[in-house]
């Protein structure tokens, strides 16, 4: 058994086909948090069957031990516990919290979810209908629509463009055998990570992790074969047409970063100053000075592979074109001139101080350690975060913007009334390469 300390987090693995286990003991409160993460997510969905991993995880959660859904919920509630599932492109996470005295019984529930779900045809069909209804209902949420459109088109052809939650068409294509096949292929001991935090000691965590692993099939980690996502050349406008809308939702962006980039944190600092907070440059120019959008933010998420940089606003239709033009001008200026020394100091102070809230509980610290494993972050990414943020120089921050941000190759996704906003939008975007209008209820 290999074992090493990661701050206060202890980790170990009993072999190649065994799960990685993380634990941090913190007995101040009689609570234990448990995370069981699969190192593969919706990127394993077969083509045309997007949403399979998410529906599978939900079905396992609601049919634990072969019980009816109401009985499962009653069982969890009786333990003073909670259990949720979360599915992304790179992971499927089962996470929950229980009072200490119920921990053994709580682990029994987790084993029933993972190893003994009902997976019956009636439950599957019911969840399939519910999922389809949820997707149809989500068309009323313009922010959800613009996120889907941006994700779908920014990295055309890459697996990251596929929706983790699926589409109405892809959900209708699913069969129960698809669920069983995916679970059998991906839910293996070597493809799992387990994390425990709170009122638990490492020895007990190891025993409980062993119980869970013994109930599951042995097998290796799933190999991640996704390539590097790329942004097509030129500026592209995609309008999600919602007739009679008087307001818009806008996501504008392109190539971003990932933690393996040497200048990743330098760009993170520069982005914080540019649009990462409610008092950053974007909000001042768009909200405070012009009143076009209540919020105006830029975002640099990360995953196991490079993600997209984006700028988000939601002006009324009459201001959409002017807002987009200003964003493009601000992006070009940021690329050319970077941030000021004053902005650098403010961003570094903000990130340093706010990081305290990311590590103030054992569950959060173990969660960060798990994140580092799941996303294959560089060694010491979280442990040296503050130190590395403080070390960022003005030249490093501005060079990162010049290197990573590309103001010429962008996707501009807009949800709004196409007839009202399209002419002005086309005029506001210099060197516009293409325009596409998509009905808000169309299946892409």
Between residues 127 and 6, the one the model is more confident about: 127
Looking at the structure, do residues 204 and 318 belong to the same domain, yes or no? no
Q: What is the pLDDT of residue 352?
A: 97
In a domain, 10, yes or no: yes
Across residues 325-345, what is the average pLDDT?
A: 98
12: closest CA among 205, 216, 164, 277?
A: 205
In a domain, 230, yes or no: no
Helix (H) or strand (E) holding 65: none
In a domain, 224, yes or no: no
In a domain, 345, yes or no: yes
Looking at the structure, do residues 210 and 240 belong to the same domain, yes or no? no
Q: What is the pLDDT of residue 358?
A: 95
In the predicted model, what is the mean pLDDT of the chain? 95
Q: Strands (DSSP E) along 31-169, which ranges?
A: 31-38, 82-87, 92-99
Whether residue 207 has pLDDT greater than 90: yes
Single residue among 151, 185, 214 that ends a domain in this structure: 214
pTM over 0.75: yes
Least confident range from 24-28, 54-58, 319-323: namely 24-28
Looking at the structure, do residues 190 and 260 belong to the same domain, yes or no? no
Q: What is the pLDDT of residue 1?
A: 31
Single residue among 214, 243, 267 that ends a domain in this structure: 214
Strand partners, 21: 12, 194
* Banded pLDDT at 14 (limits 50, 70, 90): confident
In a domain, 220, yes or no: no
Q: Determine the structural domain holding residue 69 and report its residue range.
A: 2-214
Q: Measure the CA–CA gap between 62 and 70, rounded to whole angstroms.
A: 8
CATH number at residue 194: 3.30.830.10
Looking at the structure, do residues 324 and 202 belong to the same domain, yes or no? no
Asked if 66 and 119 count as a contact pair (C-beta separation under 8 A), the reply is: no
The pair of structure tokens assigned to 278 is 């409610």
Whether residue 90 has pLDDT greater than 50: yes
Looking at the structure, do residues 201 and 254 belong to the same domain, yes or no? no
Across residues 81-109, what is the average pLDDT?
A: 97
Sign of CA dihedral 58, 38, 150, 364: positive
What is the b/e burial string over 336-375, where b = at least 16 CB atoms within 10 angstroms of the residue's CB? eebbeeebbebbbebbeeeeeeebebbbebbbbbbbbbbb
Whether residue 95 has pLDDT greater than 90: yes
In a domain, 226, yes or no: no
Whether residue 421 has pLDDT greater than 60: yes
Looking at the structure, do residues 268 and 177 belong to the same domain, yes or no? no
Q: Measure the CA–CA gap between 118 and 124, rounded to whole angstroms.
A: 10
Q: With 0-12 CB in 10 A as exposed, 13-18 as middle and 19+ as buried, what is 282?
A: buried
Q: What is the pLDDT of residues 235-264, one digit of tens each?
A: 999 999 999 899 999 999 999 999 999 999
Q: What is the pLDDT of residue 4?
A: 39
Across residues 227-239, what is the average pLDDT?
A: 93
3-class secondary-structure state, position 64 = strand
Q: What is the pLDDT of residue 389?
A: 98
* Banded pLDDT at 224 (limits 50, 70, 90): confident
Percent with pLDDT over 90 in the chain: 91
Q: What's the structural domain count of the chain?
A: 2
Q: What is the pLDDT of residues 67-78, one digit of tens each?
A: 999 999 999 999
Looking at the structure, do residues 242 and 385 belong to the same domain, yes or no? yes
In a domain, 422, yes or no: yes
Least confident range from 4-8, 240-244, 273-277: namely 4-8
Looking at the structure, do residues 296 and 166 belong to the same domain, yes or no? no
Q: Measure the CA–CA gap between 338 and 297, rounded to whole angstroms.
A: 17
Q: What is the pLDDT of residues 135-177, one digit of tens each?
A: 999 999 999 999 999 999 999 888 888 899 999 999 999 999 9
Whether residue 444 has pLDDT greater than 80: no
Q: Measure the CA–CA gap between 60 and 179, rounded to whole angstroms.
A: 10
Looking at the structure, do residues 8 and 56 belong to the same domain, yes or no? yes
Least confident range from 23-32, 88-97, 224-233: namely 224-233
Q: Measure the CA–CA gap between 13 and 206, rounded to whole angstroms.
A: 10
SS3 content of the chain, % helix, strand, coil (to 5): 45, 20, 35
Percent with pLDDT over 70 in the chain: 98
Distance of CA 150 to the CA centre of its chain: 14
Q: What is the pLDDT of residues 279-299, one digit of tens each?
A: 999 999 999 999 999 999 999
* Banded pLDDT at 227 (limits 50, 70, 90): confident
Looking at the structure, do residues 161 and 285 belong to the same domain, yes or no? no
Looking at the structure, do residues 105 and 176 belong to the same domain, yes or no? yes
Q: What is the pLDDT of residues 168-196, one digit of tens each?
A: 999 999 999 999 999 999 999 999 999 99
Looking at the structure, do residues 207 and 239 belong to the same domain, yes or no? no
Helix (H) or strand (E) holding 435: strand 432-439
Whether residue 2 has pLDDT greater than 70: no
In a domain, 228, yes or no: no
């Amino acid at each position: 058994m290999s074992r090493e300390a990661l701050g206060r987090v202890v980790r170990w693995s009993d072999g190649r086909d065994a799960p990685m286990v993380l634990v941090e003991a913190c007995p101040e409160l009689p609570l234990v948090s448990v995370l069981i993460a699969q190192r593969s997510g919706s990127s394993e969905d077969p083509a045309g069957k997007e949403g399979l991993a998410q529906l599978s995880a939900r079905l396992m959660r609601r049919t634990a031990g072969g019980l009816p859904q109401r009985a499962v919920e009653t069982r969890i509630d009786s333990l003073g516990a909670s259990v949720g599932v979360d599915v992304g492109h790179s992971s499927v996470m089962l996470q929950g919290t229980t009072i200490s005295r119920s921990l053994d019984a709580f682990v029994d529930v987790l084993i029933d979810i993972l190893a003994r779900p009902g997976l019956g045809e009636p439950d599957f069909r019911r969840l399939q209908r519910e999922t389809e209804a949820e997707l149809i209902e989500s068309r009323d949420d313009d922010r959800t629509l613009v996120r889907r459109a941006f994700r779908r088109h920014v990295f055309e052809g890459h697996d990251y463009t596929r929706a983790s939650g699926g589409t109405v068409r892809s959900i209708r294509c699913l069969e129960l055998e698809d669920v069983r096949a995916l679970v059998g292929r991906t839910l293996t001991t070597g493809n799992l990570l387990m994390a425990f935090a709170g009122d638990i000691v490492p020895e007990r965590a190891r025993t409980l992790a062993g119980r869970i692993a013994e109930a599951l099939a042995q097998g290796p980690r799933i190999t991640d074969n996704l390539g590097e996502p790329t942004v097509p050349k030129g500026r592209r406008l995609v309008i999600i047409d919602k007739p009679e809308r008087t307001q818009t939702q806008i996501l504008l962006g392109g190539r971003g970063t990932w933690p393996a980039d040497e200048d990743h944190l330098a760009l993170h600092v520069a982005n914080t100053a540019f649009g990462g907070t409610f008092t950053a440059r974007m909000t001042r120019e768009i909200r405070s000075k012009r009143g076009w959008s209540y919020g105006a933010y830029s975002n640099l998420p990360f995953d196991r592979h490079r993600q997209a940089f984006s700028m988000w606003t939601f002006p009324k239709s009459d201001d959409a074109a002017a807002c987009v033009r200003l964003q493009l001008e601000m992006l070009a200026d940021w690329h050319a001139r970077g941030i000021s020394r004053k902005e650098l100091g403010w961003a570094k102070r903000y990130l340093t101080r706010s990081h305290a809230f990311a590590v103030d509980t054992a569950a959060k610290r173990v969660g960060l350690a798990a994140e580092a494993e799941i996303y294959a972050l560089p060694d010491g990414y979280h442990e040296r975060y503050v130190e590395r943020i403080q070390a960022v120089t003005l030249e490093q921050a501005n060079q990162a913007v010049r290197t990573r941000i590309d103001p010429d190759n962008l996707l501009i996704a807009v949800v709004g009334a196409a007839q009202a906003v399209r002419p002005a939008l086309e005029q506001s975007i210099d060197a516009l390469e293409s325009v596409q209008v998509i009905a808000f209820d169309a299946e892409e």
